[in-house]
Structure 1
């Protein structure tokens, strides 16, 4: 693949699935429980842009069924492998443009996938498809935690050196300046509730190198035959930055629950709760 070409959604994460599953931070257990409480034990939940099941697999233990949908066959295969003992997940190849082709669902959750979609079009479709009381949930890094990982400047320079610069979705915050909750408060799902969950995680050199290979802009498919050179260079850069090879970071996961308002009050800012450690 030409490293300067922006891949299609079908191969956006080419070769990244095992790295995504192993090295992307897991959502805090309390965050999954918050989602489960909002959906209820009898729910069928659509995990849209499920990747390798980062949310779908732990959530499935709390609900009736999860429809795990992703355009990347590698992500689905990795998720199915990891969830061999979880019977109530259906792995489906699809994307946000074909929601009407999916089996019925009562709620939808999206992890780090919503920014790749035409957000307003997806919310309009969900307004037609979700039953009364249906929840649109987002789970991911908090928009109010703008801190950059201490290794990111070095890794960004390395990506630029290898010609695999950051990919930006056309409707993302980076492209439009509109955060997800800015979009949601002008949608049918304008009643917002946000809870934040704080964890402290430890990263080593191999975890950080693995993270790079899980990102859309530096997947194994984009690096091609330069993969080994990239990973070796990344290790050198990281150890030069921190010879101990260990970083301990505070991370904040935000769970945003969006519902249709019972009445029609003016749009309001999301209610926020104190981050939990």
Structure 2
């Protein structure tokens, strides 16, 4: 069951361009969440009556979909938040067929601007998640918002595993060099900006927030990529989206395909990644 959508202040036309243009490729080519990490999150809500998930930066709904399949007896409600309507459209298509009795509300908003439904309709989330998205957010504001809306014994989960830009295999280094030859040495973050690392680590952000009791969980992942899937993945990123290349995009993709095929002829294209989950609860024994 899908509830009416909601919209809050925060998203801008720049957000729509940055995150919306690659929504279809994101849904098709982005790797999923490792099974062991999904199980860890499912254990957080197992045994809770009618558990509610608040997924911030939901994208195409990868994480809620994985939890719907894993959580027992099952999620009762999902609040899926994203700054891109195109991403939310993809999430609706992915989640609606597998909701069962779980309800879903799609919220078009910046994560820190998320607001609950009023009065008795409000659902305090038992689990607040940011999967591969926290670096795009105003981290202190998001954690303060989560403290306002989450259940007393809720958990915040921040997780991710880098990207093919940050990976250090021979083929990913060669691919990064090719992207930089076309777009310049700085990592792009959409058509009008370059990527800047967060000023503080996620652990530092959490330590300075209400969510100061943190445990770290690490899950090694080996992914094997087909050259065509890498090309599709790049279209979904902020650092190699088609709009960044303008009229040179076709030339870039042709050259990237030659490069990837050459590396694949010597063996599979393997990405060795570490998927990290930070589980945070309120400090001071808050319940």
In structure 1, distance between residues paired with 2:106 and 2:198 = 31
Counterpart in the other structure of 1:253? 275
User: How big is the shift at 1:11?
Assistant: 1.9
8 Å contact kept, 1:203–1:248:
yes
8 Å contact kept, 2:206–2:212:
yes
- Going from structure 1 to structure 2, the CA distance change for 1:15 and 1:184 (only over 3 Å counts) comes to same
Q: Tell me, what secondary structure is at the counterpart of 2:141?
A: helix
8 Å contact kept, 1:14–1:220:
no
Q: Tell me, what secondary structure is at the counterpart of 2:220?
A: strand
1:135 partnered with 2:155: yes
1:57 partnered with 2:65: yes
Alpha-carbon displacement from aligned partner over 1:257-276 (angstroms, at most 9, x marks no partner): 11002449xxxxxxxxxxxx
User: How big is the shift at 1:81?
Assistant: 1.9
Q: Tell me, what secondary structure is at the counterpart of 1:52?
A: coil
In structure 1, distance between residues paired with 2:181 and 2:254 = 14
In structure 1, distance between residues paired with 2:154 and 2:88 = 25
Instruction: Say which is worse superposed, 201-210 or 242-251, in terms of deviation.
Output: 242-251
> TM-score, length-normalised on structure 1?
0.81
Instruction: Select which of 62, 79, 82 maps to 1:70.
Output: 82
Instruction: Select which of 231, 235, 257 maps to 2:253.
Output: 231
The alignment covers a number of residue pairs equal to 254
In structure 1, distance between residues paired with 2:228 and 2:116 = 40
Counterpart in the other structure of 2:45? 39
- Going from structure 1 to structure 2, the CA distance change for 1:205 and 1:92 (only over 3 Å counts) comes to same
User: How big is the shift at 1:137?
Assistant: 0.6
Counterpart in the other structure of 2:265? 243
Q: CA RMSD in A?
A: 2.7
8 Å contact kept, 1:14–1:222:
no
5+ residue gaps, structure 2: 1-12
> TM-score, length-normalised on structure 2?
0.78
8 Å contact kept, 1:189–1:260:
yes
Q: Tell me, what secondary structure is at the counterpart of 1:216?
A: coil
8 Å contact kept, 1:173–1:179:
no
User: How big is the shift at 1:65?
Assistant: 1.7
Ranked by relative contact order (alpha carbons within 8 Å, sequence separation 6 or more), the top structure is 1
Counterpart in the other structure of 2:168? 148
User: How big is the shift at 1:136?
Assistant: 0.9
